[in-house]
Structure 1
Amino acid sequence: MNSVDSGGRLGRRASFVLLVCANVLMMATASAPSPIYPLYRERWGFSVTLLTVVFAVYVAGLLGALLTVGSLSDYLGRRPVLVVALLLAAASTAIFWAADGVGMLMIARVVQGLAAGTATAALAAGLVEFAPEGRPHLGVTSAAVGTGVGMAVGAGVVGLLVQVTRHPDAYVFPLLTLAFVSLAVLVLAIPEPHTRRAGGLASLRPRVRVPREARPEFLASVPALVAGWSMAGLFLALTPSLVGTVLHVTFGAAGGLSIALLFLGNSAGGVWAVRHAPRTVTSLGAVCLVLGCAALAVALVLTSVIAFVIGSVVAGLGAGLAFNGTLRAISAATRAEARAEVFSAVYVVSYTALSIPALAAGLLARWWGLEATAYLYIAFVAALSVIAALHAARSRARRRADDGRARSFPTGSRHRVRTPC
């Protein structure tokens, strides 16, 4: 049962805006280190393989938090969980600020992942609960689009700083630390929309389960989920190095700006998808991912920056469309009381896809080189995208056939079968 704690001093609209800002900042911080990775490699002399490990431990921390404390705000309330998550985020940026080697980078990324995993469910729930009355969908849309916008802003802004200074971390991370502490203080002033209840300790037991009725749609959605999130992993972990060493771009901001293009395309796809049928959206997303992969491969063959920019935008658009379409299709196949459980399983698959292929690419790059590994990675995403597109096309054809049969024999029409009295 939901309620609003009258002790909060901020109104509904101000609380909603504050949580939108917290979501965008959390995601911006997740992508902020990516453009700095090439500088870290030069500074401390570690390999591309170790770089992907630094990236992957973030997802390990995030999944650990998501599987344990992800639903804790349903028991303790949104406000305390969000305050703890924001202070954890402040701790992670402070560790980045003080980092003097790859070991501290890993610690910072783990703490950052814990912060993001702790905040994910509480932010999403809070955005729905504080959304303008009569427009609950605005909360879901803000959570989804805010993720892409935050990732784009973090990578883009830090990418530009890389162009003007060799130590962007000395400027970025102190400001982020201050921002997170300030947000934690402000969150204390929002109303508490959720009543505390017992069972918080039991909720910490890790559990991932998909109910029987949702399994066919869930399993059918896995190729599209893995393809879209694997593409994001490629950009966050390896693109800054790829742009410099394979495309020979000397502009320091290029790596961060390419990540920003991917996530801006992702956000645009999420916004457009709201008004269209899930299967249509998934089909178009899978096709865009295939086209984006083709453009990225051409860019590497021809060392074409223009083709790489086009591929980044189209692949980002495809990832955003595919994720939105699959999430809505899975939601429609799931009972309301099991929806949070199924969404947790969706995010476990998604974040695993974000990290494991990127980590594997880092290991392969050690023997095959970065360019050959990038071709294999792109082919992997393209193959999954083709599978997703074929399944979505079959599903649409089956749905049209079912609709055609339903129109031929409408309920209550003169064609119904008469039974003897």
Structure 2
Amino acid sequence: MPTTRTRPTPVPTASAPAPTSPSPLPPLREVWFAAWPVVAVFILSNAAMPLYVVWQRHMGFSSGTLTLIFAAYMAGLLGALLVAGVAADRIGRKPVLVPALLVAIAACVIYATAGSVLTLVAARFLTGLATGAAVSAGMAAVTDIAAGRRIGPLLASTAMVLGAGVGPLLAGVLSETAPAPTVTVFLVEIVLLLTALAAVVRMPLPPRHPKNTAAPVSAGTRPTWIRVPSVPRTNRRHLALGLAAFAPGMTTTSFVLALGPSLLTGLLGTTNRTVAGAMAFGMFLTAAGVQFAVRRLALRTVLLASTAATAASMLSLITAVRTTALAPLIAAVVLAGAAQGMGQFGGLSLLSREVPIDRRAEANAALNAGGYLLAGLFPVADGYLSDLIGLSAGTTTFGLTVITLAAAGATLILTRSAKR
């Protein structure tokens, strides 16, 4: 007969008497339900990717303008990370997630009715805001409900990459087969976001201390709501170790997403949006699957494997660009997915295990801020450099730079982490 697991009984304090009995853990299915809002938001984060060629043809904007549209997403995401993690730790996960999902729905409406570059910039910015909230408050909610079970960080991490992969595939298929391609995609996404909103409302989150401030505050000072996300001093090493693998791994997937469609056009002679979406889906499906494969390994091993996959992916991408061969491009796609998946799972698991619950959302925000900042800057810089010295030379330069970062990350992991 199965036993019922319970939450650990909190230590009684002067302001909070000890409960008479420990509260039972939510069923495992509730952890899966809690991951759905993260999936839904990340579907939106990449859903526009196959559609830019359609908008570009209708609106006539340049590749430089397209870079600005991508930059609007990064601005929204990083801006949300300055607030969402702190807010989620202070006032709770739901008060952050509900507005974020409403913002995501508003972004879908703007995408579906977009008639100018300015509206695309606005939609992309709002998408970034919603994504920033999802990676901080949403992923923290999953690990909170899991209550120490290792499935929590695993599902939080795989929800992110699975949604990121489903988005371009869904958009590619619908835009090639359904009428009004730039409208149908986002009508479907609105339905998905409404179901995610229902999932947030019913989340069985653990009770929070009413006086939680998410960080120590000096006497006579007011708590800061907008700040660069951080972790407690004792957890800085854990954050650094997570970033050492996650940031280069995420940058690798950004490179592949940026260069993949043009390489596919040259290698296969096709501009079919479903093919480009399938490539992205395959990469992120690998990122999700590899996390289940390595979930029982020591975290140090997982992080080191991520840095190795990053280096191998970049070498494969450089080979694909220089030889215009399909096999190294496929290898780059698979290895990039494995690199991000393992780096993300290792970093998130480390923070979930070591960081106190009242700083967990902010810790997630700090991990993702570092990863997204590097992943956003490098491909843009590579694009400008490639315009000056050519695609092959530019990709080689930045590919070798990412390999160097991965090697430095591996060195840090080997010298600063315990064997567990």
Confirm whether residue 322 of structure 1 aligns to residue 343 of structure 2.
yes
The answer for the alignment partner of 1:176 in structure 2 is 189
- Contact map agreement 2:165 2:281 (CA 8 A) in 1: yes
Match of 1:100, SS state, is coil
Structure 2 distance, partners of 1:186, 1:334, is 26
Confirm whether residue 352 of structure 1 aligns to residue 381 of structure 2.
no
C-alpha distance 97-190 of structure 1, shift in aligned 2 (>3 A): same
The answer for the alignment partner of 1:56 in structure 2 is 71
Match of 2:308, SS state, is helix
State the AA in 2 paired with 1:285.
S
The answer for the alignment partner of 2:127 in structure 1 is 112
- Contact map agreement 2:249 2:339 (CA 8 A) in 1: yes
- Contact map agreement 2:114 2:120 (CA 8 A) in 1: yes
TM-score, structure 1 length as denominator?
0.80
Of the three residues 28, 41, 50, the one matched with 1:35 is: 50
Structure 1 distance, partners of 2:51, 2:72, is 17
Unaligned runs of 5+ in 1: 3-10, 404-421
- Contact map agreement 2:81 2:366 (CA 8 A) in 1: no
Q: Percent identity?
A: 27
* Offset, 1:98: 0.7
Structure 2 distance, partners of 1:370, 1:126, is 42
The answer for the alignment partner of 1:5 in structure 2 is none
C-alpha distance 237-12 of structure 1, shift in aligned 2 (>3 A): same
Match of 2:105, SS state, is helix
* Offset, 1:89: 0.7
Confirm whether residue 137 of structure 1 aligns to residue 150 of structure 2.
yes
Confirm whether residue 364 of structure 1 aligns to residue 364 of structure 2.
no
- Contact map agreement 2:108 2:187 (CA 8 A) in 1: yes
Unaligned runs of 5+ in 2: 1-9, 11-15, 17-25, 215-221
- Residues 17-32 of structure 1 mapped to structure 2, 5 A cutoff: 17-32=32-47
1:142-197, CA deviations, whole angstroms, 9 ceiling, x for partnerless residues?
Answer: 11011111111112222333444685222101111233234325543445644473
* Offset, 1:298: 1.8
C-alpha distance 191-117 of structure 1, shift in aligned 2 (>3 A): same
Of the three residues 264, 269, 288, the one matched with 2:309 is: 288
C-alpha distance 247-121 of structure 1, shift in aligned 2 (>3 A): same
C-alpha distance 16-335 of structure 1, shift in aligned 2 (>3 A): closer
The answer for the alignment partner of 2:273 in structure 1 is 252
- Residues 185-334 of structure 1 mapped to structure 2, 5 A cutoff: 185=198, 187-191=200-204, 193-195=206-208, 197=210, 202=223, 204-216=225-237, 218-219=239-240, 222-244=243-265, 248-329=269-350
- Residues 148-163 of structure 1 mapped to structure 2, 5 A cutoff: 148-163=161-176
Cα RMSD (Å)? 3.3
C-alpha distance 13-272 of structure 1, shift in aligned 2 (>3 A): closer
* Offset, 1:238: 4.5
* Offset, 1:319: 2.2
The answer for the alignment partner of 1:415 in structure 2 is none
Greater alpha carbon shift after TM alignment, 301-310 vs 69-78: 69-78
- Contact map agreement 1:284 1:321 (CA 8 A) in 2: yes
C-alpha distance 75-323 of structure 1, shift in aligned 2 (>3 A): closer
State the AA in 1 paired with 2:256.
F
C-alpha distance 346-182 of structure 1, shift in aligned 2 (>3 A): closer
State the AA in 2 paired with 1:231.
T
Q: How many residues align?
A: 389
Confirm whether residue 90 of structure 1 aligns to residue 90 of structure 2.
no
Larger Rg: 1
Structure 2 distance, partners of 1:181, 1:391, is 43
Of the three residues 132, 141, 160, the one matched with 1:147 is: 160
* Offset, 1:13: 6.0
State the AA in 2 paired with 1:58.
Y
* Offset, 1:215: 3.9
1:55-110, CA deviations, whole angstroms, 9 ceiling, x for partnerless residues?
Answer: 23212211211211323234433333322111111001111101112221110011
- Contact map agreement 1:261 1:309 (CA 8 A) in 2: no
Structure 2 distance, partners of 1:357, 1:157, is 27
- Contact map agreement 2:34 2:203 (CA 8 A) in 1: no
TM-score, structure 2 length as denominator?
0.80
C-alpha distance 209-14 of structure 1, shift in aligned 2 (>3 A): closer
Greater alpha carbon shift after TM alignment, 304-313 vs 87-96: 304-313
- Contact map agreement 1:296 1:307 (CA 8 A) in 2: yes
